[in-house]
Chains A and B, each alone.
Chain A
Amino acid sequence: MLKVSIWRGVDEGEFIDYEVPMRANQTVLDIVTEVQRNQEPDLAYRFACRVGVCGSCAMTVNGRPRWTCRSHVNDVIDGDRLVLEPLRSHPRIRDLVVDLAPFFETWKGSGAVFKPSATRDDKPVKITADDPARKNADAGIECINCAVCYSACDVVSWDKNYLGPAALNRAWTLVNDAKHGERKETLNKALGDGGCGSCHSMGNCTRNCPVGLSPSAGIAGLKKFALRGLPKVEKP
């Protein structure tokens, strides 16, 4: 049997221990579902796709933030024990569910909202796959918004002004996007209060990103652009 401690409550609460049968090919999300279906029907947790696309099932597993649907129990277990908590640095709603609204608010602060540079009547911009700016954008574009990097970041945990790695990674993809109409504004916001200058380059975001992105590299790139200015991209 697998021993699982799950946080029950909101800010005030306690860890409750459960025993779950050990099976081959179990993910952490499978364990939570097993507990919810067979032992604790009112256990609150969040998931949707179960295949690592939607980014909604992230939790703290044995002290580290992870996407639980793609985290195999054998890879993350400590002895015969799993400790599951909500993601840190987010307001808690109940049990394993956190409020992601403040996390998505940070995206606005970093200027990470796409503004078209052309209309449907204009010809599309020609962008080649080997364009350096496109390569930069491609390197960060697969973010699934799971908030694991945000939760892993120590600066986020103590500096409430800091926008966090996900929002800055998004800003990095946009300042490299020829189709984005406000590249300069996005760069200024990403370099503004609580932006790249607050990053301590600890790399927890990159270490924990479940899809293997490097927000640290994007933040370093934004800092370079602060000194050198934006790279040229194809005009629409």
Chain B
Amino acid sequence: MTVVRGLFIAQRYSAMLLAPFVLIHLALIIIVVRNGLTAEEILSRTNGSTLWFVFYVAFVLAVTVHAPIGVRNVLNEWTRLSGGVVNVICLCLALLMLSTGLRAVFAVT
């Protein structure tokens, strides 16, 4: 299997995960905001919750796989950067998303 085919497959499968994840995430935000919960009330519900921990860790992992591959395609198609430079940029982006995403998950669960 070629690298490009592997990235294509990874992006498609991560998209399959992200589709329901994003809907659940958006629904959650709307419900929380409409009910007027404070930050403390939200944290009291998420702290120690295995369900939300697993959900958001999976969410962050899926985003970390999906988004940098898409950005890689865009940069390869629209800029004159070399393939190696694009790969490094996208790897850094993936690491940034992973670290900030997991940091947020650990902070609220």
Contact = CB atoms under 8 A, between A and B. Distances in A.
Closest 4 CB pairs of A and B: A191-B5, A192-B2, A192-B4, A197-B8
B4 A195 contact: yes
The main secondary structure of chain B at its interface with chain A is helix
Contacts of A5: none
Contacts of A159: 77
A193 interface: yes
Nearest to B83: A193
A227 B9 contact: yes
Contacts of B2: 188, 191-192
B20 to A, nearest CB: 18
B5 A188 contact: yes
Nearest to B76: A161
12 contacts: A159-B77, A188-B1, A192-B2, A193-B4, A196-B8, A197-B4, A197-B8, A198-B73, A226-B9, A226-B12, A227-B9, A227-B13
Contacts of A193: 4
Nearest to B1: A188
A23 B90 CA distance: 60
A182 to B, nearest CB: 14
Contacts of B76: 161
Contact of A191 (B4, B73, B77): B4
A195 B2 CA distance: 12
Contact of A197 (B1, B13, B73): B73
Nearest to A189: B2
Interface string A158-196: 110100000000000000000000000000100111011
Interface centre among A161, A188, A197 (most CB of B within 10 A): A197
A195 B73 CA distance: 12
B77 A198 contact: yes
Given A158-B77, A159-B77, 8 more contacts: A188-B1, A192-B2, A196-B8, A197-B4, A223-B12, A226-B5, A226-B12, A227-B9
Contacts of A197: 4, 7-8, 73
A170 B52 CA distance: 48
A190 to B, nearest CB: 9
Interface string A194-210: 01111000000000000
A227 B11 CA distance: 11
Nearest to A190: B5
A227 B8 CA distance: 9
Contacts of B5: 188, 191-192, 226
A226 B77 contact: no
Interface in B8-64: 8-9, 12-13
Interface centre among B4, B9, B76 (most CB of A within 10 A): B4
Contacts of A191: 2, 4-5, 8
Contacts of A188: 1-2, 5
Contacts of A198: 73, 77
Nearest to B5: A191
A64 B4 CA distance: 33
A226 B6 CA distance: 9
B73 to A, nearest CB: 7
Contacts of B9: 226-227
